[in-house]
Amino acid sequence: SNAQMMLIEWFNAGNEVYVKLSENTIVTIDGRLVSNEVLPERVFFYNSNGDVVIYEK
């Protein structure tokens, strides 16, 4: 899908990728836990339907 291709391009460009596993659990692509404090104030991401979603602290 388009969202998958964009993720691959983003990752291959050396950008950080985070995965939201649950309401309060976010990890890096390597599975390391990430605290909410290290995330930017606003994150744009693609959900499983390929829609753009905005996460704000």
Give the pLDDT confidence of 5-37 residue by residue, as tens digits: 888 998 999 988 888 888 888 899 899 999 888
* The model scores a pTM over 0.85: no
CB atoms within 10 A of CB 26: 19
Q: What pLDDT shows up at residue 31?
A: 94
From CA 51, how far away is CA 16, in angstroms rounded? 20
Domain spans of the chain?
A: 2-56
Report whether pLDDT(1) > 80: no
- Taking only the tens place, the pLDDT of each residue in 29-55 is 899 999 888 888 888 877 778 788 888
Listed as own residue / partner, the contacts of 15-18 with beta carbons closer than 8 Å and 24 or more positions apart are 18/43
